[in-house]
Amino acid sequence: MKQLAPSILSADFNCLGRQLKQLEELNISHLHIDVMDGMFVPSISFGMPVIASLRKSSKMFFDVHLMVQEPIRYIQQFCDAGADGLTVHAEACEDLKATVEKIRELGAKAAVSICPSTPVDAIRSILPIVDMVLVMCVEPGFGGQKLIPHTLQKVDELAEWRQENGLSYTIEVDGGVNKENVQDIASHAVDIIVAGTAVFSGDIVDNVKDLQERIGMEGENAS
């Protein structure tokens, strides 16, 4: 079953706790948390203290997307803060294998992400040991951008490779998802669809229900 993972980058930080409650009531199980360091990407978002604080009142899977140069330096701290999964960028790691191994050693799910211009070939050798691949559909760094269509071909390529090689990583897409394109995105072999602006701009409940319906998750929030 495909999952919708709201990205809190577009949330209202003045009432973040309440917005997370709303998401939980809609049976959202994955929360996408964007950490930006001002080096790998131009912007700075937030870090461990915010995650640790949210952890106290949420049981959702914390899918932490590290847009951070040499994230190996912080793996332990993000795990301690309550991350369930850590995504690192192939482009940001000197030793990608050691970084992924460190995440796994600490008991978190390990994911690797590729920017729009990075080919699947750049990460093929690491695929047997990752839990997830995050395909960026926009340049990382900001919410509210337009999806770059050719990035979805990498989803197909990753799904084909997964099947041919008997691998089991999940595939996540991130950036530029909206009500108009989400159905097309969901027609690809994607498992998790991240959406920031499309969830948090306007009425969260209406937005989530609408996106879930278009993704084909309409039975998900029946309880």
| Nearest in space to 17 (alpha carbons), one of 56, 71, 72 | 56
Residue 121 appears among annotated catalytic residues: no
Dig out the tokens for 158 from the structure.
């990753």
Site of tokens 């959406």: 195
Q: Among the options 37, 63, 131, 174, which is catalytic?
A: 174
Quick one: 32 or 166, whose CB is closer to Zn ion? 32
* 95 flagged as catalytic: no
Pick one of 30, 143, 185, 204: the residue that binds ligand DX5 (CB under 6 A).
143
Q: Give the H/E segment covering residue 197.
A: helix 197-200
Task: State which of residues 4, 9, 79, 120 lies at the interface with ligand DX5 (CB under 6 A).
Answer: 9
Q: For the chain, list the strands marked E by DSSP.
A: 3-6, 30-36, 61-67, 85-89, 109-114, 132-136, 170-174, 192-195
Residue among 71, 82, 85, 140 that touches ligand DX5 (CB under 6 A): 140
Alpha-carbon distance 135 to 87, whole Å? 11
34 binds ligand DX5 (CB under 6 A): yes
Among 195, 208, 211, 215, binds ligand DX5 (CB under 6 A): 195
For ligand DX5, the closer of residues 116 and 144 by Cβ is 144
* Residue whose C-beta lies closest to ligand DX5: 196
The residues assigned a catalytic role are 34, 174
